[in-house]
A and B are shown apart, each in its own frame.
Chain A
Amino acid sequence: MSSLFPHRHLTGIHGLQPHEILFLLDEAEQWIALNRTTSKHDDRLSGLTLINAFFENSTRTLLSFEIAGKRLGADVVNMAVGQSSVKKGETLIDTAVTLNAMRADMIVIRHQSSGAVQLIADKVDCPVLNAGDGRHEHPTQALLDALTIRRRKGGIAGLTVAICGDILHSRVARSNILALTALGAEVRVVAPPTLMPAAIERLGALPFSNFDAGLDGADVVMMLRLQNERMDGAYLPSPREFHALYGLTPERLERAAPDALVMHPGPMNRGVEITSNVADHPTRSAITEQVEMGVAVRMACLDVLTRKRRGVEGWA
């Protein structure tokens, strides 16, 4: 296995060296270019079977992985397991064993339980890619965010990135904190105390409960999606109060650096964590670009993780 990326699976940003993260970002660049041509096709994964096993509902991420696999020529099979049908873990191991027996060449997994992807990775022979497990990690989201920032800002080291919203329940926040701090950014996390995880500073992030203070001078403002079920009084009094205290409006954005970039992993709750005029801002918002980078980053991950299996020189 090449020393450029000596990992069998991609279960998280945790465990990756900064140069390995940069390697994946560099690899993604070529796919951005390809995706902008009309043919958009490469055959390097031809004959390989990619299974997208999504135990938690998802439209965008599933679609992004499907497109990424198809553009590289893989046979893509989607296994969408609704939240209600398969929930028990015994079935999870059984499913892993079943997918393995079908000789998948790569399995992409999303699951509602933290650590579930690692559990499957330990049971199968092929590379496993984490597409989000509980509130643990969502590594390709962090990679696509890093790529977006790098392309828009020319680099990541030295930038101040404010990640705002429901940090407690967010795998996007965890993966981004790990990736962006590894690449030299100063990461702030902004959340009401009820949605701030304990000891978050031990991960290298600077916690803020005041939105304005957290935004002050930030080069990148990354808003997180607030799940509807968090707004029913247990964590937050109401959507409108959250919007008043933590919603990103044009006025609020003034606190950030003059050329601050606005990001959101989607899907957005317009009018709650972010207003439409910020989300749709022609120059400040990078939200649609994030989606584009997502496909490229996932193509890079699928390519790199299957190199050993495909016998690519220097990787076998």
Chain B
Amino acid sequence: MSGSLAILNARIVDPLAGTVTTGGVLVRDRHIAAVGSFEVPADVETIDARGMHLAPGLVDLGIFAIDMPAFAAGGITRAVLMPDQSPPLDHAALVQRAAAAGKPDVWIHPLAAATKGLAGRELAEIGLMQAGGACGVATGREWIADAGMMRRVLGYAGSLDLLVISHAEDGGLTAGAVATEGEYATRMGLAAAPAVAEAMAVARDLMLVEDTGARLHFRQLSTARAFSLVREAKRRGLPVTCGVSPAHLLLSEIAVSGFRTFARLSPPLRCEDDRRAALAALADGTIDLICSSHDPQGPEAKRLPFADAEPGMSGAETLLTLSLSLVRDGVMTLPRLIELLSTAPARLLGLPGGSLAVGAEADLLLFDPEQPWRIDSDHMASRAGNTPFDGLPVQGKVLRTIKGGVALS
């Protein structure tokens, strides 16, 4: 029977229950039929997990390229696609095509461009794109500078009950900048923007959220002041959430030393104090999810002088591995980590996934949290190996990615 499978002898990580228990999962017709101990039907293929960990497949919010081998290697079963494609996803037909791109393997959930051509000037056909399969609305790589336009985006998307996903960097401050302002940018002679550019964008958008009541998610935040603003907004009950990437949790601006273009990211890597603030915000619940911001860039975009290189890192296949260090460092428990990587993004966008409940789609991930390996940018499943973690010895590896009961890797 297709899409049927029994995984036995696994350490089951349940993000909803917050537990790690020994047992199995039975998949029938692409859905979870039983969890724990059950009688294995005779007609079902079995996988002996041999004590490996089993969790819901990851849901990666805000990827820039459809990169199936990387998703399969990273345990990602659903990927939320940014509208920054060529052409931008600002039309229902484009959204529809993108939504179909990954099935039946990894499912791609496209975000609609908030404005036509992502230019920040005219509303895109958000309602038609929603009907075409868009699961949310995004401003793209850039912030919408015009406050009036952003207010209309929030109001309009809010009326359709769509989440708006914003890039938080004030464009007036970041124009031309390729690094965060500070000693390292000064030493290297790189055009830099002050870190406060992020908090300023967050502050404005929070006021607009308060004004419109719309739901807003900051795709990636990276500075102490931005986290403080979000923390305070949540305390006041505003419908606001934010994400972070492993790069901003594990690296600081020092990583760009030697003009390493693989470490040119957007938002840029920040100072050590900001990195510590991100860890604190993760621990206290200010940060709602972890995302890879997967943006594979080949040598033609990265083997350039630093300022000419494109920002972005290939992050999908190292998302879980790098995040696991947070568990080892005691920042959080393993079920909580899986919640941040899977359950929370699915819940935020109203997507299936992120759950091991009976009846849920069988999006599963088998991993070994201890297995040592070395990240090697020359040997990655991804379309491009632009990772600032190149050469890093790491622990924890995805062994199987299972979508709808079918193993992808």
Q: Residues of A with Cβ closer than 8 Å to B?
A: 14, 88-90, 92-93, 111, 113-116, 118-119, 133-137, 171, 174, 197-200, 202-203
A207 shortest CB reach to chain B, Å: 11
A267 shortest CB reach to chain B, Å: 20
Question: Could you say which residues of chain B place their CB within 8 Å of the CB of A92?
Answer: 304-305
Tell which of B186, B189, B303, B304 touches A134, judged by Cβ atoms closer than 8 Å.
Answer: B189
**Which stretch in B20-28, B97-105, B177-185 binds the other chain?**
B177-185
Question: In the bound complex, do residue A14 and residue B187 qualify as a contact, i.e. CB atoms below 8 Å apart?
Answer: yes
Question: Could you say which residues of chain A place their CB within 8 Å of the CB of B188?
Answer: 114-115, 136
Question: In the bound complex, do residue B186 and residue A119 qualify as a contact, i.e. CB atoms below 8 Å apart?
Answer: no
Among B194, B259, B303: residue with most chain A CB under 10 A: B259
B184 and chain A: residue at smallest CB distance: A199
Question: In the bound complex, do residue B186 and residue A199 qualify as a contact, i.e. CB atoms below 8 Å apart?
Answer: yes
B273 shortest CB reach to chain A, Å: 13
Question: In the bound complex, do residue B305 and residue A114 qualify as a contact, i.e. CB atoms below 8 Å apart?
Answer: yes
Whether A137 contacts B305 in the complex (CB less than 8 A), given A114-B259, A115-B259, A202-B183, comes out as no
Among A93, A171, A197: residue with most chain B CB under 10 A: A197
Q: Residues of B with Cβ closer than 8 Å to A?
A: 181-183, 185-192, 194, 258-259, 300, 303-309
CA distance A78 to B41 in the complex (A): 78
CA distance A33 to B262 in the complex (A): 47
CA distance A198 to B181 in the complex (A): 6
A286 shortest CB reach to chain B, Å: 25
B407 shortest CB reach to chain A, Å: 39
Question: In the bound complex, do residue B187 and residue A115 qualify as a contact, i.e. CB atoms below 8 Å apart?
Answer: no
Question: Could you say which residues of chain B place their CB within 8 Å of the CB of A114?
Answer: 188-190, 259, 305-307
CA distance A115 to B183 in the complex (A): 16
B178 and chain A: residue at smallest CB distance: A114
Question: In the bound complex, do residue B304 and residue A89 qualify as a contact, i.e. CB atoms below 8 Å apart?
Answer: yes
Tell which of A135, A171, A199 touches B183, judged by Cβ atoms closer than 8 Å.
Answer: A199
Question: Could you say which residues of chain A place their CB within 8 Å of the CB of B187?
Answer: 14, 174, 202-203
16 contacts between A and B (CB under 8 A): A89-B305, A90-B303, A111-B305, A113-B307, A114-B190, A114-B307, A119-B303, A134-B189, A134-B307, A135-B190, A135-B191, A136-B190, A199-B181, A199-B186, A202-B186, A202-B187
B109 shortest CB reach to chain A, Å: 34
Tell which of B186, B192, B306 touches A203, judged by Cβ atoms closer than 8 Å.
Answer: B186
CA distance A7 to B188 in the complex (A): 19
Tell which of A116, A171, A174, A200 touches B305, judged by Cβ atoms closer than 8 Å.
Answer: A116
Q: A93-B304, A115-B307, A197-B185 are in contact. List 10 more A-B contacts (CB 8 A).
A: A88-B308, A90-B303, A111-B305, A113-B307, A114-B189, A135-B191, A136-B190, A137-B189, A198-B183, A199-B186
Question: Could you say which residues of chain A place their CB within 8 Å of the CB of B306?
Answer: 113-115
Whether A119 contacts B192 in the complex (CB less than 8 A), given A89-B308, A90-B300, comes out as no
CA distance A14 to B187 in the complex (A): 9
Question: In the bound complex, do residue A90 and residue B186 qualify as a contact, i.e. CB atoms below 8 Å apart?
Answer: no
B190 and chain A: residue at smallest CB distance: A114
Question: In the bound complex, do residue B304 and residue A197 qualify as a contact, i.e. CB atoms below 8 Å apart?
Answer: no
B228 shortest CB reach to chain A, Å: 21
Whether A113 contacts B308 in the complex (CB less than 8 A), given A14-B187, A199-B183, comes out as yes
Question: Could you say which residues of chain A place their CB within 8 Å of the CB of B191?
Answer: 135
Whether A89 contacts B303 in the complex (CB less than 8 A), given A114-B189, A114-B190, comes out as yes
B192 and chain A: residue at smallest CB distance: A198
Question: In the bound complex, do residue A200 and residue B186 qualify as a contact, i.e. CB atoms below 8 Å apart?
Answer: yes
Question: In the bound complex, do residue B194 and residue A198 qualify as a contact, i.e. CB atoms below 8 Å apart?
Answer: yes
B302 and chain A: residue at smallest CB distance: A89
Question: Could you say which residues of chain A place their CB within 8 Å of the CB of B185?
Answer: 197-198
CA distance A174 to B300 in the complex (A): 30
Question: In the bound complex, do residue A135 and residue B305 qualify as a contact, i.e. CB atoms below 8 Å apart?
Answer: no
Question: Could you say which residues of chain A place their CB within 8 Å of the CB of B309?
Answer: 89
Question: In the bound complex, do residue A135 and residue B300 qualify as a contact, i.e. CB atoms below 8 Å apart?
Answer: no
CA distance A211 to B171 in the complex (A): 32
